[in-house]
Homo-oligomer: A and B are copies of this chain.
Amino acid sequence: MGRWEPNAYERLQEAALELFGERGYERTTVEEIAARAGLTERTFFRYFTDKREVLFGGSKDLAEVIVAAIGGAPKELGPLDTVAVALEATSPIFEARRAHARKRQAVVASHAELRERELIKLSSLGDAIAESLRRRGVAKVAASLVAEAGIAVFKSAFERWVSDTKKHELAHHVRETLADLRVAAAEGTAVAAVRTAPRPSRSARRTST
């Protein structure tokens, strides 16, 4: 038996989520979170740079799983399908914690400060995806674009999953959302064929890879 209770990090995360649920994000202090975890405010800030960050510990794992899945995806897939497959690969991470994810989502949605943090996490996830695609030979502009589209799909799919009473897996919603996106894109007017388009910029005319 160690000198201290183990898993301080997880205890803090749990205590925080509980308290945010009970009293709301604003009305719970870091000191209270630490106390419920049997620790000190100072220790909280050793594990998390921020009060907000305690809700975003998982985003690193998420990015890793997605990047790995992109790297291991079959070469025949187009970029968007590659990203979709990678997003589906995160399904197991969430499937075990549906209730937890729902609570977390409610808290994040309820406070602008937390939505900001979520957005920047998704943004850097997008950067990571774009980078992975480029490593597979996708041109820079296309990689960024597809990555952004992938993020959009993920956001939407995740929302559907969280509020899905039928308990479909996240992967299911990713596929559905992607299909929706393709319908919207194929409706012709959305991402239209080159119509009155001016010449693309020089950077886009460079050969890819």
Contact = CB atoms under 8 A, between A and B. Distances in A.
Contact of A180 (B146, B178, B204): B204
Interface residues of A, number: 51
Contacts of A156: 144
A149 B185 CA distance: 11
Given A79-B190, A146-B184, A180-B201, 10 more contacts: A115-B123, A141-B184, A148-B149, A160-B201, A176-B200, A179-B197, A182-B192, A183-B194, A183-B204, A186-B193
Interface of A: 78-81, 112, 115-117, 119-120, 123, 139, 141-142, 144-146, 148-149, 152, 156, 160, 175-201, 203-204
7 contacts: A80-B190, A142-B190, A144-B156, A148-B149, A149-B149, A179-B197, A182-B192
